[in-house]
């Protein structure tokens, strides 16, 4: 079934509050949107523009285009697949500077003029290490269960096809086994991400926090597309209706983010709490009304933080309609 494809761009604050949105045709290249967005925001007196993007945008051609369109960029990198980062940047000595809770960073300047920011999250490192230990324990048990460890066995093929397990496995002489070197190498990346920038003036702290802000933006897009707001699929074909559909979804995202900031909790939790508010319907010969049940735990606090008055104990009072008997 055919469905319209569009590119949605958002301008957001550091807190992830959308302040402007754009809708482009689905075949628009990412770098092509930068000049248009920069032009539209020129009157906002922003001082300077910095393009922040994930590793999917980081290629030689994209970096050149971004430098032309936006001037400066801050891009995530593929740590494990870029030889320069894997062999030099991650091995570079130097102490991390603690910028905030669970955000440490250091700079690495290479002889070729490239500037990298290595970020480290100790809590995430512990989580990833624990997750890897659980995966390895599972694989060890799986390997013990099977006497025939041929890589052509059905169970072995399933493990090798799994994105979760295949990185820790290897094949030696046609037999599947744990890749001890791969397990050791994986620990080098725990809790780390590496950024590349051509902006010589941006501080270490702003660079690290700038990319963390991108994580908030990515979460906004996930909310729009897949979770609460469900922007896709859309069943419109006229351009003005498609754009209106997107704008309504962005408005919903704005309300969601404001609620999250006010309550200091994710929207999924806010929604779960509010959905537990219940009322009972009553009908008497003379009246029809609703009576509010006892508020669930946390509901009163959420309503107060959102500046929403608590519902009245009894509401929707109406006189019952009198039915004229049929003679």
pLDDT in tens for each of the 327 residues of the chain? Answer: 456 788 888 887 767 788 888 888 888 877 777 777 777 877 777 666 677 777 777 777 777 777 776 778 888 888 888 889 988 999 888 899 998 878 899 999 998 889 999 999 999 999 999 999 999 999 999 999 999 999 999 999 999 999 899 999 999 999 999 999 999 999 999 999 899 988 888 889 888 887 776 666 667 777 776 656 677 777 777 888 888 888 888 888 899 889 989 999 888 899 999 999 999 999 888 889 999 999 988 999 999 999 999 889 998 889 887 666 665
pTM of this prediction?
A: 0.65
Please give the backbone phi and psi of residue 115, each rounded to the nearest 5 degrees, phi first. Answer: -115, 125
Distance CA 120, CA 194 (A): 9
Cis peptide before 233 (omega within 30 of 0): yes
Q: Residue for token digits 């599972």?
A: 138
pLDDT the model gives residue 1: 47
Please give the backbone phi and psi of residue 254, each rounded to the nearest 5 degrees, phi first. Answer: -60, -45
CA count, 13 A, side-chain hemisphere, 305: 15
The 3-state secondary structure of 35-84, one letter per residue: HHHHHHCHHHCCCCCEEEECHHHCCHHHHHHHHHHCCEEEEECCCCCCHH
Supply the DSSP symbol for 201.
S
Sorted by where each begins, the domain ranges of the chain are: 6-99+194-263, 122-188, 276-319
pLDDT the model gives residue 157: 93
| 287-292 vs 115-120, strand pairing mode | unpaired
Q: Which pair of tokens denotes residue 112?
A: 């070729």
Residues facing 287 on adjacent strands? 319
Q: Which pair of tokens denotes residue 15?
A: 């807190």
Q: Which pair of tokens denotes residue 16?
A: 């992830």
């Amino acid at each position: 079934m055919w469905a319209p494809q569009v590119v949605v761009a958002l301008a957001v604050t550091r807190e992830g509050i959308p302040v402007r949105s754009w809708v482009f045709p689905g075949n628009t290249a990412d770098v092509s949107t930068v000049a248009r967005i920069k032009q539209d925001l020129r009157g906002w007196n922003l001082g300077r523009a910095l393009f922040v993007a994930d590793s999917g945008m980081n290629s030689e051609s994209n970096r050149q285009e971004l430098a032309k369109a936006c001037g400066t960029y801050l891009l995530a990198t593929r740590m494990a697949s870029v030889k320069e980062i894997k062999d030099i940047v991650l091995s570079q000595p130097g102490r991390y500077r603690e910028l905030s809770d669970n955000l440490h960073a250091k700079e690495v300047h290479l002889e070729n003029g490239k500037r990298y920011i290595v970020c480290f999250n100790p809590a995430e490192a512990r989580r990833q290490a624990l997750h890897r230990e659980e995966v390895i324990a599972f694989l060890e048990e799986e390997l013990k269960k099977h006497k025939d460890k041929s890589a052509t066995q059905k169970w072995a093929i399933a493990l090798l096809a799994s994105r979760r397990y295949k990185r820790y496995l290897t094949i030696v002489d046609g037999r599947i086994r744990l890749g001890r070197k791969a397990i050791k190498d994986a620990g080098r990346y725990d809790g780390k991400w590496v950024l590349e920038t051509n902006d010589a003036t941006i501080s270490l702290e702003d660079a690290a926090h700038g990319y963390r802000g991108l994580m908030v933006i990515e979460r906004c897009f996930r909310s729009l597309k897949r979770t609460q707001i469900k922007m896709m699929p859309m069943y419109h074909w006229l351009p003005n209706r498609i754009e209106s559909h997107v704008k309504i979804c962005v408005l919903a995202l704005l309300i969601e983010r404001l609620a999250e900031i006010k309550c200091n909790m994710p929207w999924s939790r806010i929604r779960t709490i509010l959905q537990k508010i219940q009322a009972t319907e009553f009908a008497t010969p003379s009246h029809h009304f609703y009576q509010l049940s006892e508020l669930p735990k946390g509901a009163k606090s959420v309503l107060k933080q959102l500046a929403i008055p608590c519902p009245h104990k009894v509401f929707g009072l109406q006189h019952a309609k009198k039915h004229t008997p049929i003679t």
